[in-house]
Structure 1
Amino acid sequence: MSYGGGYRGRRSGHYDSRRDDRRPPETESQKLRNLILKFGEGSEFHPSSELPVIAQALRAGFAQNAPGIVEGFRMAIIEQPYKTLYLAALLTLLSSKSTAQTEGSNSDPAQVVFDELCKSFQTTLDKLEWRQIRLYTHFFACLTLSKAVSPSSFLDLLQSFLVVLDEPGVSYERLHAAAACAGEGLMRAGPALYSFNPIAVDAIISTINSSGEPHAPQRTISRPILDPNPLVLPEADVYLTSLVGALTSLRDKSFEALPECLPQPHTLFPEPTKLLDIPPSLVPPEEIDFDRAVDEELKRKELMPAISIRMFGNDVTPDPSSPAGFMIRSGLSDVINIFEVNRKECARILLEMPRWFVWGTFRGKSSNFVRAYLTASSPQTIVYYFALVTDLCKLSPQTVGPAVGKSFRKLYAFLGNGLDVEISRRYCEWFAMHMSNFGFNWVWKEWIPDLELPLYHPKRVFIRRVIALEIRLAYYDRILKTLPEPFTTLEARCIPDEAPGPEFEYENQQHPYYEPAQSLLNLIRGRSQIEEVVQFAESMRSNLSETVTLADGATSDSVVRSITMQILLHVGSRSFSHFLNAIERYLPLLRSLGSDPQDKLDFLNAAASFWHRNGQMIGIVFDKLMQYQIVDPTDIIGWCFDNAERRKRDDDGTGSPGTLSFREWDLVKAALDKAIGRVAIAQNRVQLLRKEEEEAKAKLTAGQTRVDDDGMEVDTNGVGRAVFENLNTALKARSILTREQKAALARILDGFVSSLVLQATVGQLDTLKPGHWDLREQWTQAQWQYWETFGWYRHFCRNYLAQLKSYTVTLESGPLAKATVTGDRAAAGTLMMSVWNVALGRGHS
């Protein structure tokens, strides 16, 4: 079959001989390896004629270059999965009658390559590298389809994955990965396996179908849209559900053929002369290492059911539960995941994916590649997806651009119709970043009628958030010019009345603290010695109450802390480096002004007041204060939940006390991530020192030791004692940081309880009751605020599930105990506990 039309190869472009001169010439082994990696990338691809030529070249050079050929197959399998069917056909050709044995060699190239690939597969299996395991399984499935691998050995491989599904207490991550290997392998080898053993095939589908049942309740808090009305709920994609649906559809037709979107190159060539057998293998158990680095746990945190939004119908994007739809989505996802390291190459390959499917599958439109990967937990960094869409638009603006615009409008329509707040946040960031890459051009007038909605309606929150992000990415005046007049009025409250900047309240000569503040400012600007500045601050603290009248509730200590923090920020407001220099130089000054929780709140209040028009700078300052240990993560979390006055001054309007906005959640998340990250660093340190301790013990056993003056056995270099002392210190540090992490989690839960239970009203509670969604057009501002805070609680429970599980008993007996209330507020507590129990896999929400 031919795949023509507009292909631009990787090496296309102007030939530069000087560039080639700088590269060493390719060896014969490298040429054969690249022959495998680059086949099919010409302007025309004819597998019936090209693959036999490649197979003959590989066979001719196999005796001297076997390692390079094996490496070419291995790399293509795990880095170019869109070629897997053709790779299987190529390996099959190596053992067919049409390519006779190499003269003077008794080895069978196909057997040698296959044996080496089986060894490589076993290595990935031992390391539990699930993506590579799944892609190798795809390759073996295609070999089974082409009758190069025995159905019995491949069936044994699939059944080894099913064993994982029956493991007691298996995590969703491991279950999901094993089910994907078994199900996707069956989908590709179904015709061969079903004719060989239909009973076993039915058993595989049944086992995969039932494997997700223990985690089914967790889908309720992973769903991207919380609207129980089936008439308005967009279809959501749950991976296992889609996989079982596609398999069932194929089974109902007795696996007569592959999904219609897949080419069948194996039918173009003779059958192989011999059957290959996959060696028996078992999936190793997942090791439980309590000293494993926490950052690794974060990278591969226990997943909840993966659910994504279906924004368009089956006439635009394929049904993910159909065989063809599942294959297409799976193929695109693999390319996106593999090429995260090179998004421009990823964009190029995505636009050329039609050549690797049956001609006509995509109806010649690149827009089918555009999908929003908006799940509860994204596999890659969100910015990568945003940048990838931008590159797709630049490569094919006529087709991808309109598709992106349709996606923006579709997601906007979901706002106020149950769209999860975390997905709304990602949507804001995607929209703003995309606008910054294309001149901030958008048809804002479409959304003018929405300015009549309540201030905290998700659409108005989105508009304010996007404009704030656009200002961050450009300039205030420039963004102002892109907006229609209705968005720029004070009544609309979409844009701040001034450009984001600092506000040093003590520069006003009418301020009661102006004179002492100016004196301290002059000392700091003059880079006075730290001792002199500390001494002046102490004298100012003792004299302040005698010279000026303090505001209600203020103390001389709190005033000095506020003045000092704002002065350091004022001196450092010229640039980020100025800010860091000022803070680092006068850290002893800040530490001398107090260290109890109330003292730290004074620092945070002063910083937030100084940068109240710039939420980004508040986050930066708070992060640095945590880094320099002026404040703790728990201090910031408490500040976010408790400081109602600051909420009334933020750029989102007059938020009621207890309401958690986008800005506040960003600060809470940053503080919690800081606490978790510190535990990760401490855990890594402990792990490293334990290895050194084991080495020291091994030397002790080998007799390479001596006894020091204190009777301590150390090695001949005297490092044994140092290792022991360092390990003891690291263990203590880890213990302290772990308590800090637990305290941060508890403080967040306590804040949510206060917000959702203690400040709830009966009217707000009705917001989240089934059947009340038909009345959402009548919701008040308070109800929408309650909805947003509940959304962040829901996201907190699923996003930090791994950490919450570690402290379940403490958290349930502490902050969550307050959720057990009676009266009108009981419904809020019941709802919180329901979400909590579902996140932990205990029941339904």
Structure 2
Amino acid sequence: MVYIENLVKRDFKPLKKSCEKLRKVVKSGKKRYRDDDRRSGGRDRRNRDRGRSSYIEVQEQQPAEDSPEKRLTTLLIILGDKMTPKEITTNIDKVASILKSEYSKLETHVLKTIKNCFIELPMNFMELPMKSYIYGTLIGLVNVTRSDVGVKVVKMTSQTLQQCLNEGNWRGAKLSLKFFGELTNANVISPRTMLDVYDDLLTALDEQNLKMSRADTIVYIVLASLPYVATRLRERCPDVLESMLAKIERYFYARERTILDIDGSVVRKSIQPYVGPNVPYEQQDMLELLWTQIQNLKSNDWVCPNLLKPWSEYDGVLITADQHEVEKFVVPQEFGGMNNSLPTTSFRIFVGLDDESIKEHDVSDISYFIINDVVDDILDIMEVNRKDCAKYLKDLPYCFAPDTFIGKDTTVSAAKTDVKVESETKMETEEDSFPNNWTNDNPPSVDTTNTNQNITANFQLEQIIVEAIGILFDRVDIMDVECCYRFWNWFSHHLSNFSFIWNWKDWESSLQFDPLHPKVCFLRETFQKMVRYSYYERIKSTIPDEFSSIFPIEPSTSFKYEDSTHPLHDLAETLLGKIRKRASNEDVQAYFKEIVTALPPKEQDQTIRDIFVQCVLMQGCKSFSHVLNVIERYLPILQSLNESPEDKLHTVKIVAEFWKRNTQFLGILLDKLLNYRVIDASSIITWLFTKEMETEVSKSYMWEIMKNTINKVISRVKQVQYKLDTLINPRTDIIDITSDVDKKVNSEELRSLENTLSNVTREQKEVLLALVNLFVGMLDERLKEYIEQDIQDPMSQYWFWWAYGFFKEIGRCYQPQMSTFMVTLETVIIDPLDTKTNPIIANVIEMIKAFGRMKEASVVEDLS
């Protein structure tokens, strides 16, 4: 680590003569953080809708490598990296001196860099919210002699917070409040001003018929930022702070009553990661848990020993500085992107264990939230930069006070510092990152929370990950089914980064369980996923022979007419030869007419479809590009052979039979045929619920195909809706120079889009109705069998455990779409059921309705 102290020991006359060591680091290719090429070789995984042109535009705006701006940026970014508290204060002094002398020359760049460091905004490269305490103190020191800098920073932060509120960027709003808190600590703004900022936000709680989702979001960002500034507020304005907390407390009482009134317990129960009577801990609502943590912090006189407070070293200096006013903030009436319109539940790993060597975290302590929150920010903000995500997770102890983490063999050299840095972040970062990956509606890329932490990790961190995996495997049979699915997806990818090495013998005892037992299915699906990440023989060689019974068969094709004894072998070979020679569509159609007379009259169409689709798949089996070329060449024939729902269902079955030994290709081929409109979503959904597919209920490929198909249908609705909204409400900054003729064309386009939207919306409703109907029919039939067999608890049957679990996930995932036709759904599907005999199915529908009630719930009590 090249410390700032070493970088600036020469005279700063001006920036161009400083940081020679830093220049060598930059030229050597060692990136400090998000450099301009940070996305090379990949794609923007977090914001896929960002245009490439915008990215190139921002690239071009970046300062040159040897410019003063670039060197100052790097100084600010590395400030605090792997530094003890004493080193942090020393280097804050040095950088503050630089800013004071150079601010006039680089004002715009300094403000932009500071803004980028404390908050995450689209297209910024340097989001370091875990260092806000450093930047707050830095601005405080500069503000002592250069109050103009303080004014500009406060104004910039105010504008940023209001922008975040207007855009529904709630993470950004939280980080802005957090930075305001650090500016309060550094005496840049007064504690009373900080409380006024909070009051501006909490004024929304006084609204009549306040939406609970709106209130939850505002209360969350206030409480999340409060621990960082609470000590100052208690010292200077205790009465105002107490009044604010009393208002929040009144909201929590009203919130709980509202949840009871709408039967919100149904929602809370449905989103818990662990299910059944033997859960390892009490699964709490995260917002309520945060309120409990804040109350405990208050009981502890607002002292949070885990937070670094470099500003406290300068109290005597900072008190002499000018304080600045903050503009009044307004929370828009209509805003999107709520933090979460539904309650979220804690997901913990290292709890309820017999191992005395593992110390359980006290979740009621505010430090549990603070560390969790920082880890969550790092994972989300740095998802596009895996290497630096790992770096900041591994170096997390340096962002907190010494002794925050329990460590081994990590004492910093006594020659370097007089402070011991305990740097084992293991249990905290692992326990905080797993929920991000498994319980979010839109989890981060699977390799973000996996590769980032592990590739650069030390041996101890690897060991704690192994321990976490073992604990989760032991609990897999009490997990929600969706969590199981995400677990084996994550685990297989984790192994792909470590040469697929694992001590499988530890889990050999699980093979004695039922083939549909969650542990057995976990192992089987993990092996299946591992094969996708490598090649078959390599994976097979790493798995002990004892697991051969659940190891997948080698991926291959299943060409129905390959056997020379098949009566249609010669016809298929001839057709395959024509396809290999790239015969025209006309030639192929002519060949159909030749062979049709040799086929049974009632099976002519089906047989021709079967032979042709099989031959197309056989010709394209070498790779995805091969099969796409063949499909595109013969697309007119494929479409002509698949005009009715029965035809399309038949084609889906043909593809499934051909690729039954390679489910990855199967999923991709069905997706491509769906894109080309050869088949439709209804045909895929119908196939998934055929009798022969019931044995596949615990296999991930089935549910991946199902979700991908539904997502495709929903995506079409969103795309058309977006086009229609854009046409109706074009950008206001573009001058309207269209002629009357153009406007007439736009009217025609408007009618066309409205018709298209009606069609795709109807398709979405039909597909989801069919999906629920098929799910209910399948589960109802199985429940009747259990009644005949005198099975009292259907959840004790693993087939039902999987099927019902995925049904519940479908209800959770697509509740927004299903809520638009709940009356139809209940009338057509639920009412005919005997819900007294089979209440468990109706529970899912009730869950969907409860989700809708929760999202629309209003708190009607007066909280003023």
TM-score w.r.t. the length of structure 2 is 0.82
Using the alignment, how far apart are the partners of 1:16 and 1:29 within structure 2?
14
Residue equivalent to 1:761: 784
Identity within the alignment, % = 26
Residue equivalent to 1:437: 497
Which of the numbers 508, 521, 525 marks the counterpart of 2:563? 508
Aligned residue runs from structure 1 range 209-358, under 5 A: 209-210=252-253, 213=256, 214=258, 216-217=264-265, 218-229=267-278, 232-236=279-283, 238-255=285-302, 257=303, 259-269=304-314, 270=316, 271-286=319-334, 303-313=341-351, 316=359, 318-358=361-401
Segments of structure 2 that go 5 or more residues without pairing to the other structure are 8-18, 31-61, 120-126, 353-357, 407-422, 856-864
| Mapped pair 1:812 → 2:853 | no
| Mapped pair 1:407 → 2:468 | yes
Which of the numbers 422, 443, 447 marks the counterpart of 2:482? 422
CA displacement 1:737-757 (0-9 Å, x = unmatched)? 111111111111112111222
User: Would the aligned equivalents of 2:835 and 2:842 in 1 still touch at CA under 8 Å?
Assistant: no
Change (3 A) 1:681 1:182: same
CA displacement 1:802-845 (0-9 Å, x = unmatched)? 22223333323333434x32563x323333333333333369xx
Using the alignment, how far apart are the partners of 1:381 and 1:728 within structure 2?
34
| Mapped pair 1:668 → 2:710 | no
Aligned residue runs from structure 1 range 417-816, under 5 A: 418-488=478-548, 492=549, 494-496=550-552, 498-545=553-600, 555-641=603-689, 643-647=690-694, 654=695, 659=697, 661-691=699-729, 698-699=736-737, 705=739, 713-714=740-741, 719-761=742-784, 763=786, 779=796, 783-816=797-830
| Mapped pair 1:841 → 2:853 | yes
Q: Report the alpha carbon displacement of residue 424 of structure 1 after superposing the two structures with TM.
A: 0.7
Select between 428-437 and 271-280 the one with higher mean Cα deviation: 271-280
Q: Report the alpha carbon displacement of residue 40 of structure 1 after superposing the two structures with TM.
A: 2.2
User: Would the aligned equivalents of 1:126 and 1:284 in 2 still touch at CA under 8 Å?
Assistant: yes
Q: What SS does structure 2 have at the residue aligned with 1:505? A: coil
CA displacement 1:760-810 (0-9 Å, x = unmatched)? 1374899999xx69xx8xx4xxx1111111111111121122222233333
Using the alignment, how far apart are the partners of 1:10 and 1:138 within structure 2?
34
Using the alignment, how far apart are the partners of 1:383 and 1:74 within structure 2?
25
Change (3 A) 1:170 1:737: farther
Q: Report the alpha carbon displacement of residue 133 of structure 1 after superposing the two structures with TM.
A: 0.9
Using the alignment, how far apart are the partners of 1:765 and 1:261 within structure 2?
60
User: Would the aligned equivalents of 2:379 and 2:389 in 1 still touch at CA under 8 Å?
Assistant: yes
Matched residue type, 1:455: P
Q: What SS does structure 1 have at the residue aligned with 2:229? A: helix
Q: Report the alpha carbon displacement of residue 600 of structure 1 after superposing the two structures with TM.
A: 0.6
Change (3 A) 1:316 1:168: farther
Change (3 A) 1:11 1:584: farther
User: Would the aligned equivalents of 1:227 and 1:233 in 2 still touch at CA under 8 Å?
Assistant: no
Q: Report the alpha carbon displacement of residue 621 of structure 1 after superposing the two structures with TM.
A: 1.0
User: Would the aligned equivalents of 1:223 and 1:307 in 2 still touch at CA under 8 Å?
Assistant: yes
Change (3 A) 1:764 1:119: farther
Residue equivalent to 1:821: 834
Aligned residue runs from structure 1 range 191-202, under 5 A: 191-195=231-235, 196=237, 197=239, 198-202=241-245
User: Would the aligned equivalents of 1:234 and 1:311 in 2 still touch at CA under 8 Å?
Assistant: no
Change (3 A) 1:383 1:16: closer
Q: Report the alpha carbon displacement of residue 561 of structure 1 after superposing the two structures with TM.
A: 1.6
Which of the numbers 90, 94, 98 marks the counterpart of 1:57? 98
Using the alignment, how far apart are the partners of 2:729 and 2:162 within structure 1?
27
Aligned residue runs from structure 1 range 87-166, under 5 A: 87-96=135-144, 99=145, 108-164=148-204
CA displacement 1:224-260 (0-9 Å, x = unmatched)? 011234xx433435320221121010122342x2x11
Residue equivalent to 1:830: 842
CA displacement 1:571-606 (0-9 Å, x = unmatched)? 111221111111111111112223111111110111
Using the alignment, how far apart are the partners of 2:798 and 2:504 within structure 1?
23
Q: What SS does structure 2 have at the residue aligned with 1:63? A: coil
User: Would the aligned equivalents of 2:446 and 2:493 in 1 still touch at CA under 8 Å?
Assistant: no
Using the alignment, how far apart are the partners of 1:482 and 1:128 within structure 2?
49
Q: Report the alpha carbon displacement of residue 212 of structure 1 after superposing the two structures with TM.
A: 5.2
Using the alignment, how far apart are the partners of 2:470 and 2:148 within structure 1?
58
Q: What SS does structure 2 have at the residue aligned with 1:309? A: coil
Using the alignment, how far apart are the partners of 2:207 and 2:712 within structure 1?
34
Change (3 A) 1:60 1:301: closer
Change (3 A) 1:556 1:374: farther
Using the alignment, how far apart are the partners of 1:425 and 1:449 within structure 2?
21
Segments of structure 1 that go 5 or more residues without pairing to the other structure are 102-106, 289-296, 547-553, 648-653, 706-712
CA displacement 1:340-359 (0-9 Å, x = unmatched)? 12110111111111111001
User: Would the aligned equivalents of 2:517 and 2:798 in 1 still touch at CA under 8 Å?
Assistant: yes
Q: What SS does structure 1 have at the residue aligned with 2:323? A: coil
Change (3 A) 1:187 1:25: closer
Change (3 A) 1:483 1:48: closer
Matched residue type, 1:639: W
Across the two proteins, how many residue pairs are aligned to each other? 767
Matched residue type, 2:813: N
Change (3 A) 1:675 1:380: closer
Using the alignment, how far apart are the partners of 1:663 and 1:464 within structure 2?
12
Q: What SS does structure 2 have at the residue aligned with 1:423? A: helix
Matched residue type, 1:268: E
Using the alignment, how far apart are the partners of 1:768 and 1:157 within structure 2?
60
CA displacement 1:68-116 (0-9 Å, x = unmatched)? 22223211211211211222222222233xx4x5xxxxx6322232223
Change (3 A) 1:212 1:406: farther
CA-atom RMSD, angstroms? 3.4
| Mapped pair 1:393 → 2:458 | no
Change (3 A) 1:353 1:828: closer
Residue equivalent to 2:40: none
Using the alignment, how far apart are the partners of 1:461 and 1:266 within structure 2?
54
Q: Report the alpha carbon displacement of residue 208 of structure 1 after superposing the two structures with TM.
A: 5.5
Using the alignment, how far apart are the partners of 2:788 and 2:486 within structure 1?
26
Q: What SS does structure 1 have at the residue aligned with 2:445? A: helix
Change (3 A) 1:809 1:360: same
Q: Report the alpha carbon displacement of residue 287 of structure 1 after superposing the two structures with TM.
A: 5.0
Using the alignment, how far apart are the partners of 2:729 and 2:101 within structure 1?
49
Q: What SS does structure 2 have at the residue aligned with 1:609? A: helix
User: Would the aligned equivalents of 2:306 and 2:404 in 1 still touch at CA under 8 Å?
Assistant: yes
Using the alignment, how far apart are the partners of 2:374 and 2:827 within structure 1?
46
| Mapped pair 1:76 → 2:92 | no
Matched residue type, 2:801: W
Q: Report the alpha carbon displacement of residue 427 of structure 1 after superposing the two structures with TM.
A: 0.7
User: Would the aligned equivalents of 1:344 and 1:388 in 2 still touch at CA under 8 Å?
Assistant: no
Residue equivalent to 1:709: none
RCO greater where, 1 or 2, for CA within 8 Å and sep 6 or more? Answer: 2
TM-score w.r.t. the length of structure 1 is 0.83
